[in-house]
Amino acid sequence: FFFIFKGILSTLGNGYVIFMSSKRKKKLRPAEIMTVNLAVCDLGISVVGKPFSIISFFSHRWVFGWMGCRWYGWAGFFFGCGSLITMTAVSLDRYLKICHLSYGTWLKRHHAFICLAIIWAYATFWATVPFAGVGSYAPEPFGTSCTLDWWLAQASVAGQAFILSILFFCLLFPTAVIVFSYVKIILKVKSSTKEVAHYDTRIQNSHILEMKLTKVAMLICAGFLIAWIPYAVVSVWSAFGQPDSVPIQFSVVPTLLAKSAAMYNPIIYQVIDCKFACCRSGGLKTLQKKSSLKKSR
């Protein structure tokens, strides 16, 4: 029932973000294009993965066979990796826009689409590597969903190399880039807030918009990492520790938390967007008052 609830919320929320963005697709900024891509990844997790797991949970076992298990594991890893790499690209975009203005103004819409192609190719490569015989997908310990076969690290050196490669390129490295980018942004914002106050209104409005996009990106990245880190810890312990020491009941909780990440993002995006719209409407009222005063004069 929890999977049904978050599946419906995730589908409606991410579908709404995609629909609203499609209405102004020619005006989307590079960071907003990345946000739409993130919504596509989250929608993919909900539409492709959730029905399999919901039916299996109600059946108390995996009912779709070995090929279904591999497909479910591939889809979950593909869209999950796509989400994390998208957020990594967003964090770099925010870092360049806030900390290096010359590079930030150079980034245009066509660069965002090139970046999207790289993101999808990256996710496709790492999700498909297990089919080449290097790794594999296997059922979770509780038997109602499938994931990467983390237990290969217990079997051979090749399995350990595969799991370490996945951990570095699909978790540790992207997370390090995200943390570095936002730490530098926070330090830059603290030092430049007073300077922006002396600029004209157009520069201030541009700065407010950039900060709004940065807040959205920071909250989405934080929510994603908080949701997935417990799952990563349990998975690493299963790979290199003692898998039998993790109770099956306990292993369900990180999975439920990780799969909830797709539900948070549209909520975060809309809350920040509504706050920005309120501020913007207040600014419009002020401008309207000024224009009416000019007319009366």
Angle, helix 65-99 to helix 109-128, in steps of 10 degrees: 150
Give the span between the Cα atoms of 123 and 169, in whole angstroms.
10
* Digit-coded pLDDT (tens) for 178-207: 888 888 887 877 676 555 545 555 555 666
Are 33 and 113 a contacting pair, CB within 8 Å? yes
pLDDT of residue 242: 74
- The half-sphere exposure of 188 on its side-chain side, counting CA atoms within 13 A, is 17
Given this model, what pLDDT does residue 207 score?
Answer: 61
User: Considering only CA atoms, which of 101, 80, 83 is closest in space to residue 34?
Assistant: 83
Residue pair 258/230 in contact (Cβ under 8 Å)? The answer is: yes
Domains of the chain: 1-288 (1.20.1070.10)
Burial class (CB in 10 A: 0-12, 13-18, 19+), 137: buried
DSSP E strands: which ranges in the chain?
137-139, 146-148
Are 70 and 146 contacting, i.e. CB atoms less than 8 angstroms apart? yes
Crossing angle (nearest 10°) for helices 261-296 and 201-240? 170
Mean pLDDT of the chain: 79
Spatial CA neighbour of 132 closest among 107, 104, 165? 165
pTM of the predicted model as reported, rounded to 2 decimal places: 0.80
Backbone angles phi, psi at 137, to 5 degrees: -110, 145
pLDDT one-digit tens code per residue, 117-173: 999 999 999 999 998 878 889 998 888 889 888 888 777 788 888 888 998 999 899
pLDDT band of residue 58 (cuts 50, 70, 90) is very high
> Residue 39: CB partners within 8 Å, gap ≥ 6?
14, 17, 18, 21, 265, 266, 269
What is the rounded CA–CA span in Å between residue 51 and residue 73? 13
* pLDDT for 213: 67
- Hunting for tokens 């920040």 — which residue is that? 272
pLDDT at 287: 38
Angle between helices 30-44 and 65-99 (to 10 degrees): 160
Instruction: Name which of 218, 253, 286, 37 is nearest 141 in CA terms.
Output: 253
Report the length, in residues, of the chain: 297
